[in-house]
Every structure is written in C-alpha cells, then in structure tokens.
Amino acid sequence: MVVRGMARAFVYPRLELTRWSPLRRLVKHRAFQFMLILPNLAVFVLVLAAAFLGTPVGNRNFAIIFVWIVWWAALIVLLIPLAGRIWCAMCPIPAPGEWLQRLAIVARRPGRPFTLGLSWPRALRNIWLQNGTFLAVALFSAIILTRPLATGIVLTLFIGLALLLSLLFERRVFCRYVCPVGGFIGLYAMVAPLELRVKDPQVCVTHKEKDCLRGNAKGYPCPWMAYPGNLWRNIDCGLCTECLKACPKENVGIFLRPFGQDLLLARAPGWKGRSLDEAYKAFIMLSCALIYSAVYTGPWGFLKEWANLSDPAGFALYAAGFLGLNLIGLPGVFLIAVALARWIARAEIPLRRLFVELAYALVPLGLTGWIAFTLSFVLVNISYAIPLLSDPLGRGWDLLGTASHPWTPYMPELVPLLQLPFLWLGLAVSIGLAFRIAQQNLEDAAKARRALLPIASFMTLIVLLFQRLYLG
C-alpha cells in the first residue's frame, strides 16, 4: 500500500550539487564551516563592541542597524527561502561552545569531548522551548530592536547560554532545542529548495558502522543529533556537513529540489509525524508578523508606547494581547476553521490531529507574511547602514567617507507593490498545501475539497488583514 505523503526514497526531482567536484571538495574540507563562521564572528564581535561601547542612539549604532535590518532582511528574504538553515551553518553564537566542546576549531580531534555529555531531557526534545524563547524575545522586541545595550545583552546571553549548554549537554542542544531564531529558521527551512540528504537510504540501512552517528577520523558525529539515514526534513539538519565528511560510502549530498517538499511529507521512518509544537510555531510566527506590522508600521502611538514599556499598565495589556493572540487567538480561530472543515467533510479523523496537520499549511503564508513585513522597513531604513560603515560605533569617525550620508528611504511608495506578490504567493501556495494535507488525512479527494473551503477562507482573511495594515 502506498501511503500518501510517505517518504519513498525522494520521489521529487533532485539535482545533486555536490556532484560538482569543486563544491564537493569544498564542503568536505574540514575548514568549510569555520570559513563560513569566521566572517560572521568578526561582524559579531563588532556588533558586541558597538552594542556595549557605541552610541545609545539605535539608528546610529552598528549593532541595531546591522543585526535588525541588514542581517534580518538577508535572513528572511534570501537565506531562509532559498537556502533553508544555511544561517545555522554559519552562525557564530554556538561556535565558541562547540570549539570548547571539541577542544578544536577546525581539526577532527579524537577522544572524549570536553563536556559532561548529559542527554537532553526527553520531554524537551521538541521545539516548545524554542517557541517560549522566541515569544520572550518577541515580547520585548521594542526594547531589544531599538536599544544597542539591550541587543548586546541579549546576544551575550545567547552566546553564554550556548556555551553553558555545550559544557553540560552533548553536541548542539542550544541550536536544536533552545535557540529562538533556530526554531523559526527550521520551520521555514522546510520551504527551501536546498537540502542535505542521503543519496540512497538503502545504503544507510546496510551500512552497519553508522559513521555519521558515531563520527570517524574525518567527521564529528552529527552535532544536531540527526541520523542522515532517517533525515527527511530541513528542520532537523543544521547543514554543518559533518555527515558528508564522515560518510565512507559517499552517500550524503547537497541537493536542489522543488520548494516546500518537507511540508508535503506526512510520514517517514524514524519520524513521529507532524506535531503540535511545530504547528504552534507556525501560529506564533504568523501572529507575530501581524502584530509587528501593526505595532511597528502602523500609526497607533499607544501600541508603540505600550510595547516600549513606557507605561507598565499599558505593557501588561500589550503582553496579554500579544501572548493571547499568539497562543489562543489565532490558533483558536484556526481551530474553528478546522472544526468546520471536519464537519463539512464528514471526516472521522480526530479534531486535534487534523488541527495539527493543517497548521503546516500556514508555513508558506507565514514566511511570505514575514517577507512582506520585512520589506516594509528594509527599503525605508537600509540607508542608515551607509554612514555606519564609516562610523560603526557612532563616535564621529569617517573611515570610508560615508559618515554624512543622509537617511534616504528607497521607493517607500512602491513597498506595497512588492509586498502584495509575496502575500499572494503565500496564499496560493498555502491553499494548495492545505488541499494536499487534507488529501493525506481524509479518505478521499471530495472530502479534501470540501474541507478546503473554511481553511482557504481563514487564509484569505489573514492576507486581507495584512493588506488592511499595509494598504488599507
């Protein structure tokens, strides 16, 4: 029997990029990840210096502009949609902890790692903690995104926590289970057309040594605690390429593929299936894109004051509304839509199951919603970066002669025209995905078609809400 959505040795077309020998040699080189991390680490050090030593004026400080505008825009608009978790491969935050754990930076050092090596608690082997850490950061975003010192403290906390966890626990538990950024990168990486996978899962079945899991002289055991033989989704892979280095069978590669294949997957060996923690991540991201659009690009001064902690009672209201919409409001409305879908389709599947399954259809819409929100402030504010190239700390320097470049919003009146295609693309893809997921879970296509009506209506309403905020 063929189960719909079952992993069947990669039924979609794939182009193995690592068949091109220069690329293969590059990613198999031990210094590959270090070379990715090094420039980001240099920028990160500058970010921390600017955050702690530079001017407290946010739009004159390298830390604020380069982290929350330049890096954020690159991450959301380019890196995640096109290359999935590639940022996780080059992120400097877990690097010191990992290097300390390995007692090496580039080389494959044999022997016991420098860590207590505790196992991460089974109850936390999901992304609930990442949902929580993201909400905590997002709730205080008006402070963190605008005050260099707050940005510096948060980034230092991240690096400190990553270091501490690497000393206590095995491998990269910070990236896999704690990092607030890694959580949503993983979710949206499932859309990307780039994947690291095995070429033939059957080779892994017959290969008893499992070098990718245990490591060998050429590569460390997977820092993300994934087994490539059962790796089906980008959310579980940090693209560090250790397995590619370690595999003696040359059975691991980096592939181009059609967008969004991981979201079509319903069942696969070694994977428990779609889960509530990831479904909630989809809700949280979608809610936050809406809330941020209202708070940061809307005309409501009282919302900005509340988010800015100007008034404790106002902030309490904001926090209640923020968490309420994220955790209850949006999921609640979606639950009603799913209940309606289940009723219209006369489906037997439990409501909770269908709720979780269909929530994954919101992933493309959430990603394009974030792209639309990001576009709303990037073109307007990116020119703040130009003087900072000459004066990163806001100390009155003019290293490159660009320090006096004025704030210049680029084509701000055209931003809605750029946002619309992304919102429409997200809507179309999400409706299509909802139909496929409904087909996987309901007995026949007719039921899936009926179930699609309330879900598509929900998605349309979300896009209309975005449009109301951007154009209305």
Partner 1 sequence: MNTWGERCPGVRMRGTWFLVSGIGLLGFIAPVVGLALSLTPGRTPVVREIELLSQAFHYDPLQPGEAHTRHALGGRIEVRWGERVVLHLRAADTAHGFYLDGYGINRIVQPGEEVTIEFIAIRPGKFRFRCSETCGPLHPFMIGELVVTPNLPFYGSALGTIFLALAVVGRFWWLKREA
22/472 with CB nearer partner 1? 472
**Residue 173 near partner 1 by CB under 8 A:** no
Q: Least distance (Å) from partner 1 to the CB of residue 300? A: 5
Selected binder of partner 1 within 257, 304, 353, 405 (CB under 8 A): 304
Who contacts 356 (Cβ-Cβ below 8 Å, separation ≥6)?
274, 275, 276, 279
Q: Least distance (Å) from partner 1 to the CB of residue 29? A: 41
* Binding positions for partner 1, 263-302, rule CB under 8 A: 295-302
Selected binder of partner 1 within 37, 431, 437, 442 (CB under 8 A): 431
Selected binder of partner 1 within 126, 308, 383, 402 (CB under 8 A): 308
Distance CA 152, CA 230 (A): 38
Selected binder of partner 1 within 14, 47, 54, 60 (CB under 8 A): 60
**Residue 444 near partner 1 by CB under 8 A:** no
Identify which range of 108-116, 236-244, 331-339, 458-466 contacts partner 1 by CB under 8 A.
458-466
Per the structure block, which two tokens stand in for 169? 């626990």
18/151 with CB nearer partner 1? 151
208/413 with CB nearer partner 1? 413
299/312 with CB nearer partner 1? 299
**Residue 420 near partner 1 by CB under 8 A:** yes
Identify which range of 81-89, 238-246, 263-271, 380-388 contacts partner 1 by CB under 8 A.
380-388
Distance CA 210, CA 223 (A): 14
Identify which range of 129-137, 340-348, 360-368, 455-463 contacts partner 1 by CB under 8 A.
455-463
Distance CA 214, CA 393 (A): 45
Interface size with partner 1, residues (CB under 8 A): 54
- The number of angstroms, rounded, from the C-alpha of 335 to the middle of its chain's C-alpha atoms is 24
**Residue 410 near partner 1 by CB under 8 A:** no
370/470 with CB nearer partner 1? 470
Selected binder of partner 1 within 147, 197, 233, 447 (CB under 8 A): 147
**Residue 460 near partner 1 by CB under 8 A:** yes
Selected binder of partner 1 within 435, 437, 440, 442 (CB under 8 A): 435
**Residue 341 near partner 1 by CB under 8 A:** no
Q: Least distance (Å) from partner 1 to the CB of residue 142? A: 7
Site residues (CB under 8 A) for partner 1? 57-60, 142-143, 146-147, 295-302, 304-305, 308, 377, 380-381, 384, 407, 409, 412-413, 416-417, 420, 423-424, 427-428, 431-432, 435, 445-446, 448-449, 452-453, 456-457, 459-460, 463-464, 467-468, 470-472
